[in-house]
Amino acid sequence: MKRTLYISLLASLPLLAQETPLEPGHTDNNKFSQMYDLMATPNMFRTASGAPGPAYYQQKADYKIDIELDDANTRLYGTETITYHNNAPEPLEYLWVQLDQNRRAADAKGPLIENQRVDASYSSEGFTRRYLEQEFDGGFKIEYVNDANGKPMRYIINQTMMRIDLDKPLKPGEKISFSIKWWYNINNYHVIGGRSGYEHFDADNNNIYVIAQFYPRMAVYNDVEGWQNMQFWGAGEFALPFGDFEVNITVPADHIMEATGELQNRADVFTPAQLKRYEQATKTFDKPVVIVTQEEAIAAEKNKSSKKKTWRFSAKNVRDFGFSTSRKFIYDAMAVQLSGKTAMAVSVYPKESNPLWGEYSTRVVAHTLKTYSKYTFDYPYPKAVSVSAESQGMEYPMICWNFGRPDKDGFVSDQLKYGMMSVIIHEVGHNYFPMIVNSDERQWTWMDEGLNTFLQYLAEKEWDENYPSRRGPAAKIVPYMSGDQKFLEPIMSNSETIHQFGNNAYAKPATGLNILRETIMGEELFDYAFKTYANRWKFKHPTPEDFFRTMEDASAVDLDWFWRGWFYSTDYVDIGIADVKQFYVSNEKPKGFKEDNRQQGRRRRSESENAKYVYMVSEGPEFNKRLKKPLDISSVKELEEYVNEKFTAAERQKLKAPKYFYEVTFNKPGGMLMPIIAELEYEDGIKEKHIFPVQIWRKNNQTASRVFATEKAVKKITVDPELKTADIDISNNVWPAEAVKSKFSEFEED
């Protein structure tokens, strides 16, 4: 005769659906809803998989530029010829050119959008600069805009944008060439600020120049924005098309220079000894080779040549161009072996940066190229250059400026060393995002800063497992996520509207990706999907939707709930333990037990089959009450009889023998969904981790319950014991309830 075992909970089941009164209808507010309401509709340009579509196109802008640096007057003079290729399927009636230096024009509107207050006190220098000195005029002085025949073209300048009107529309497949002549005053970035400019050294009356945004640059035209001609207000960086550059830069003859692209006339600007050292560096993979020595740099500082030299650079398929020049520069380099090619890691720095830079900078550049290439694609450019520029951290194709100098006595603290290394990793890493995976920084800062900060964290950990990373681990974002909502914006916010730029555009997206990799998707699935995105969109212009869709398409992990919560809202994670009920097994029906209709039906059917009930008996309704009477399986004769009858001796040896039963109800005071990580700690000190996918919240976004049947008594239950989910309140994460000292204090930033 068939025998069936039923285990019934003490609490009765809900009434049948037809007995429940109807409630008013409601719209879909489930946090697992798909994101059709938020993401752009796929099309022939950008597919639903997140890949470029069959109609995808992008424009091309080629530049031939001649510039001269006036070191005595800190000015830059230039002429350029731009050849613009229209690959769009529609004609263009005009062209938009970016004039980012106009951010520093005397009549710039950028300063007028900033709120001001009167400080209680000023230094004499600060008061003079703010209220007495004439505004610095660093804007472009455009002398002409001519067509290929030298005829003036019609143009109008609107702050940081210039529209060039065409005599006839530029048709699909056509190209146009035109020339611009300009000059501007270079800013002292220590005094005036800015992403580029010069740093002055009073001791020897020399400058280090880090020069970018120095030429009128084509704006992006694409299938998403049309012309991306949003003004440059200062926070949102740049959107630029790819192209080829031929750039000739004339500077004092004793200057040493590095720039975007490959140097075409090294023999004209290096001494024979320096050429020999450079050749040695191209074959040295284990340590930097000093090419321009400190002694040579010191000699140049003192003598100050009145002659000039022209450095000639060529760069293919880059979106921008930057350069740095000074007679103070020491120059070292080493070769980096990647799977498909060799690249050069290079550093230029003044004597004031030693011994720190000579020891670490180029090695860190090489490490960054290797690590980023592993997670994305092999670095495609011939070199990556790190420039010592105090108080800076900025990136351009193949070259970047980085802070970090010893004090006047040469002392280097760990904070300074790791800070410098992190900036170098970050700025060199920008070669991948956005210099190659070319997102629109003017609109979406997180697409380059956030993704790059995430990879920076991986590179730091590969340098040293105990590296003191500032951003990446989930717990470090908690102080921001738990802050005043009035000063929080979703990640999907325009760059100019963000209150806490570093937390919103760098830390939160990087932390989100780290949570995806470590907690939600797993490293294997995440790494494959992330690499797929990088390779799909290298040398192209991706949007946020392209990233979101590719990560799902390549992993088979539905992440709409994550993008919706982490990127499109300011929801925070707070998961706790609301209740724990403890049970033991008995064959006696508990006093007061009442069956509902379904239980009665099951019992009648089972009685005809001579089945026995095993009842789960609660020790009482009190919260956190400990189990008094552990279950002894042998005392429940009916269960023992059933087991002996149904299983062989060998099979019985493999059966579990639970003695303790805990029904745990988890709640979610925070709005952000997240998997539940629960750790059981037994009385013997052994710990056991259980991870429940985020879909456990799918039918009730607020509560979820699980039953743990254990052989040993549970002493403690902890949610997220390793702080992997950015839970902002861990005081409700532990059962039995206890005073929980904040684990986040070490992560809180000033």
Q: Which tens digit of pLDDT belongs to each residue from 147-179?
A: 999 999 999 999 999 999 999 999 999 999 999
Phi, psi for 196 (deg, rounded to 5): -145, 175
Question: Looking at residue 9, what is its pLDDT?
Answer: 40
Cβ contacts of 5 within 8 Å, gap of 6 or more: 611, 612, 614, 639, 642
Contact between 505 and 452 under an 8 Å Cβ cutoff? The reply is no
pTM, 2 dp: 0.90
Each residue of 244-275: pLDDT tens digit? 999 999 999 999 999 999 999 999 999 999 99
DSSP class per residue in 348-415: EE-GGGTTHHHHHHHHHHHHHHHHHHHHS----SSEEEEEE-TT-EEEETTEEEE-----TT----HH
Pick the closest to residue 613 from 7, 2, 1 (CA basis): 7
State how far Cα 646 lies from the chain centre.
Answer: 57
Q: How confident is the model at residue 124 (pLDDT cuts 50, 70, 90)?
A: confident
Pick the closest to residue 207 from 218, 215, 196 (CA basis): 196
Q: Cis omega (within 30 of 0) on the bond before 736?
A: yes
Pull the structure tokens for residue 736.
């039995």
- Characterise 529 by phi-psi region: left (phi > 0), alpha (psi -120 to 50), beta (else): alpha
Q: Which residue has the higher pLDDT, 334 or 118?
A: 334
Question: Looking at residue 12, what is its pLDDT?
Answer: 33
Strand partners, 64: 81, 246
CA-CA distance, 388 to 348, in Å (whole number)? 6
DSSP class of residue 168 equals E
Question: Looking at residue 634, what is its pLDDT?
Answer: 52
Does 603 score more than 60 pLDDT? no
Each residue of 516-569: pLDDT tens digit? 999 999 999 999 999 999 999 999 999 999 999 999 999 999 999 999 999 999
Each residue of 202-258: pLDDT tens digit? 999 999 999 999 999 999 999 999 999 999 888 889 999 999 999 999 999 999 999
CA-CA distance, 109 to 114, in Å (whole number)? 10
Contact between 419 and 468 under an 8 Å Cβ cutoff? The reply is no
Output the average pLDDT for the chain: 89
Burial classification of residue 538, based on how many CB atoms lie within 10 Å of its CB (0-12 exposed, 13-18 middle, 19 or more buried): middle
Strand partners, 707: 663
Contact between 251 and 311 under an 8 Å Cβ cutoff? The reply is yes
Using CA atoms, how far residue 82 sits from 79, 153, 653, in Å, is 10, 13, 80
Give the count of beta carbons closer than 10 Å to the beta carbon of residue 91: 13
DSSP class per residue in 190-229: TTT--SSEEEEETTTTEEEEEE-S-S-EEPPEETTTEE--
Contact between 668 and 712 under an 8 Å Cβ cutoff? The reply is no
DSSP class of residue 655 equals S
Each residue of 40-93: pLDDT tens digit? 999 999 999 999 999 999 999 999 999 999 999 999 999 999 999 999 999 999
Contact between 583 and 616 under an 8 Å Cβ cutoff? The reply is yes
Count H helices and E strands in the chain, helices first: 16, 32
Strands (E), 136-203: 141-147, 154-158, 161-170, 175-185, 197-201
Contact between 432 and 452 under an 8 Å Cβ cutoff? The reply is yes
Q: Where are the domains positioned within the chain?
A: 5-24+574-747, 255-438
Alpha-helical segments (H) within 430-496: 446-463, 478-481
Average pLDDT over residues 350-354: 97
Question: Looking at residue 602, what is its pLDDT?
Answer: 56
Q: Which residues of 262-287 are buried (b: 16+ CB within 10 A; e: fewer)?
A: bbeeeeebbeeebeebbeebeeeeee
Measured at the CA of 41, the angle between CA 36 and CA 47, to 5 degrees, comes to: 115
Q: How confident is the model at residue 4 (pLDDT cuts 50, 70, 90)?
A: very low
Q: How confident is the model at residue 591 (pLDDT cuts 50, 70, 90)?
A: low
Q: How confident is the model at residue 478 (pLDDT cuts 50, 70, 90)?
A: very high
Average pLDDT over residues 625-646: 60
Each residue of 315-326: pLDDT tens digit? 999 999 999 999
Q: Which of 386-395, 607-616, 711-720 has the lowest mean pLDDT?
A: 607-616
Question: Looking at residue 604, what is its pLDDT?
Answer: 57
Does 725 score more than 70 pLDDT? yes
Burial classification of residue 412, based on how many CB atoms lie within 10 Å of its CB (0-12 exposed, 13-18 middle, 19 or more buried): middle
Question: Looking at residue 170, what is its pLDDT?
Answer: 98
Phi, psi for 478 (deg, rounded to 5): -60, -45
Pull the structure tokens for residue 32.
């697992």
CA-CA distance, 234 to 495, in Å (whole number)? 9
Pick the closest to residue 613 from 599, 629, 592, 634 (CA basis): 599
Q: Which residue has the higher pLDDT, 264 or 638?
A: 264
Q: How confident is the model at residue 750 (pLDDT cuts 50, 70, 90)?
A: very low
Q: Which of 337-341, 373-377, 621-625, 650-654 has the lowest mean pLDDT?
A: 621-625
